């Protein structure tokens, strides 16, 4: 929007949006696949301003209930209310003997968030400026202790420790492995409540795409990038395979542009997309990191309901359900349960109760598992993996439903339709390494710039940049921050104050001329219906490939 650059987005999936796309069944049930709730979207929220800028105010958000998270344990439930003070005071009321430590905890959240902002700034400024950051207090050791280390040093009550880390599923690894920094970022993100996009998470792409197209940009679906092309030490384009090429079409295509932006993550970018680049400086380091810092995959169950879950007392909040206080033990058992009775923990949410435009009632169940638990079928194709795979999915589905039924009797009777996805589905749709949903594991090493120099927007290769969660932090908010950071490296310096001003005062929505998104939305709908149709015709005019 600022420099009229033409952008080509290559998407391997047959739907636009990545982990924000939605899908439907029976023409009435619709589920999101990656976005379940987002913070900082009140009228004064920074993320709200950013989305208003990027969508010209077309994307709307529905606020979730005042109690947006419930942490459910065998003998108690703790409710998280909107508001930092509410959260803190509810903890103190429940654990009055830990009041001093609880107040210190909220101070420490701010302390680490400040460190994170400084650390992110440090790795993105020019090299000659970085020494100035040495004048600031060094908080790295405090921020990069594990969550478990902090909890065990700060609190005595095991129930309180368990409650405070109950959202670890939002960053994918348990307290003993996770950096305290990612925990602080996540918890603080929801202090002002939680929100869900009106119309579902697919509206994010639907409202952004027309603006991309308006500037001459394009998106190609079913195009899997297999290699970033390097010539004379500079990124000059990509080689991609058109996954739905007919007999008379050429499946392998090259797209050239002066700027290449990878949103595939650091591991895939340096390990796979630069596989033929001999001077790759990060390949061995990333392999070592991946071996040492194991990340995780997930199983999702999508349910279509006969009636409103409100009849069982649900109000649109998320439920984090655990079989014990020991989160690390639950994580350790993430693979063995699939051959037994049911999961040790499960996340339950209701898209239809969060979205005022939902046509029918839905629910989602999520739990964690390793990709290796399904590697037996890794060479099979989506929807064609064999009878033994189908039987295992049925066993897993029954175990997950039974787990919820134990906590909420009558839940099973609401189910009309069910569908289960495994890590193999994630790989088929996204190509993510080991089916991870969060990228590189959020361990202390991940946030140490010296140990993980690949986690930043800049790369050692001229013309190549990263964006996405591994260039900054997790989730929608992290990806948004990452996009801003990447933009600061790409745009002319004088545009940075303009970006900040636009985010602070989102532009009005215009209804005429170029600023009218109606035509672009029609094109978006056409893309969704005719996902194999090539859109880009004049490849030489492209100014960026993402």
The three-state DSSP-derived secondary structure of 128-161 is: HHHHHHHHCCCCHHHHCCEHHHHHHHHCCCHHHH
The whole-model pTM stands at 0.89
Please state, in angstroms and rounded to a whole number, the distance separating the CA atoms of residues 79 and 72.
Answer: 9
Please state, in angstroms and rounded to a whole number, the distance separating the CA atoms of residues 238 and 252.
Answer: 10
Q: Phi, psi (5° rounding) for residue 375?
A: -65, -20
Q: What is the pLDDT of residue 194?
A: 97
- Across the beta sheet with 234-242, what order do the strands follow? 223-231, 234-242, 252-256
CA-based nearest residue to 484, from 22, 51, 31: 51
Q: What is the pLDDT of residue 502?
A: 55
> Which residues touch 217 (CB under 8 Å, ≥6 apart)?
5, 6, 7, 8, 9
Other CB atoms within 10 Å distance of the CB of residue 509: 13
Per run of 10 residues, the mean pLDDT along the chain (length 546 residues) is 82 91 94 94 89 93 97 98 98 98 98 93 83 83 98 98 97 96 96 96 93 90 96 96 88 95 95 92 94 90 97 97 97 90 94 96 97 92 91 96 97 97 92 90 94 94 93 86 86 61 49 38 44 36 44
CB neighbour burial string for 481-504, b if at least 16 within 10 angstroms, e if fewer: bbbbbbbeebeeeeeeeebeebbe
Q: Phi, psi (5° rounding) for residue 223?
A: -120, 110
């Amino acid at each position: 929007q600022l420099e009229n650059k033409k952008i080509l987005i290559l998407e391997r999936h047959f739907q636009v949006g990545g982990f924000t796309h939605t899908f439907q069944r029976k023409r009435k049930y619709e589920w999101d696949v990656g976005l379940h709730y987002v913070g900082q979207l009140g009228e004064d929220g920074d993320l709200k301003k950013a989305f208003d800028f990027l969508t010209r105010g077309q994307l709307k958000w529905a606020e979730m209930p005042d109690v947006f998270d419930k942490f459910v344990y065998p003998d108690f439930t703790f409710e998280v209310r909107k508001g930092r003070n509410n959260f803190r005071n509810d903890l103190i009321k429940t654990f009055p003997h830990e009041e001093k430590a609880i107040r210190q905890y909220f101070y420490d959240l701010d302390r680490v968030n400040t460190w994170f902002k400084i650390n992110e700034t440090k790795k993105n400024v020019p090299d000659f400026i970085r020494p100035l950051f040495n004048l600031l207090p060094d908080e790295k050791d405090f921020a990069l202790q594990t969550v478990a280390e902090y909890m065990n040093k700060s609190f005595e009550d095991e129930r309180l420790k368990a409650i405070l880390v109950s959202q670890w599923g939002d960053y994918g690894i348990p307290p003993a492995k996770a950096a305290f920094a990612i925990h602080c970022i996540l918890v603080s993100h929801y202090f002002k409540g939680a929100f869900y996009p009106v119309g579902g998470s697919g509206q994010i792409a639907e409202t952004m795409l027309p603006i991309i197209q308006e500037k001459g940009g394009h998106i190609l679906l079913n195009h899997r990038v297999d290699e970033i092309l390097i010539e004379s030490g500079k990124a000059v384009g990509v080689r991609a395979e058109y996954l739905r090429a007919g007999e008379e079409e050429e499946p392998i295509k090259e797209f050239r542009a002066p700027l290449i932006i990878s949103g595939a993550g650091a591991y895939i970018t340096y390990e796979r997309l630069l596989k033929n680049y001999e001077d790759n400086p990060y390949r061995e380091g990333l392999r070592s990191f991946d071996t040492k810092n194991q990340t995780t995959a997930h199983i999702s169950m999508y349910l279509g309901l006969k009636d409103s879950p409100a009849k069982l007392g649900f109000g649109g909040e998320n439920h984090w359900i655990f079989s014990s206080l020991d989160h690390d033990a639950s994580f350790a058992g993430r693979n063995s349960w699939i051959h037994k009775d049911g999961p040790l923990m499960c996340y339950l949410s209701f898209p239809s109760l969060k979205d005022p435009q939902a046509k029918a009632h839905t629910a989602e169940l999520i739990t964690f598992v390793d990709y290796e638990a399904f590697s037996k079928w890794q060479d099979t194709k989506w929807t064609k993996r064999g009878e033994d795979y189908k039987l295992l999915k049925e066993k897993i589905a029954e175990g997950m439903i039974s787990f919820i039924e134990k906590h909420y009797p009558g839940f099973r009777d609401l189910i009309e339709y069910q569908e289960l996805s495994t890590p193999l589905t994630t790989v088929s749709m996204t190509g993510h390494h080991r089916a991870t949903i969060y990228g590189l594991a959020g361990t202390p090493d991940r946030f140490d710039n010296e140990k993980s120099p690949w986690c930043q927007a800049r790369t050692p290769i001229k013309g190549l940049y990263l964006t996405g969660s591994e260039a900054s932090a997790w989730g929608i908010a992290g990806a948004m921050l990452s996009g801003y950071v990447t933009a600061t490296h790409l745009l002319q310096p004088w545009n940075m104050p303009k970006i900040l001003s636009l985010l602070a005062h989102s532009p009005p929505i215009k209804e005429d001329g170029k600023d009218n998104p109606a035509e672009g939305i029609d094109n978006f709908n056409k893309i969704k219906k005719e996902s194999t149709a090539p859109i880009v015709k004049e490849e030489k005019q492209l100014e960026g490939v993402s």
